[in-house]
Structure 1
Amino acid sequence: MGTGKAAKRLGVSVKTLQRWEREGRLIPVARTDSNRRLYTEAQWRAFIGWRQTPECPARIVA
Structure 2
Amino acid sequence: MKWSDFGERNKRLNPLWNLGAGMNLGEIQPYKEMVSLSVLLQVYYLELESNERRSKEDIIELT
TM range (shorter): under 0.3
TM-score, normalised relative to structure 1: 0.28
RCO greater where, 1 or 2, for CA within 8 Å and sep 6 or more? 1
Give the helix-richer structure, 1 or 2.
Answer: 2
Greater fraction strand: 1
Normalising by structure 2, we get a TM-score of 0.28
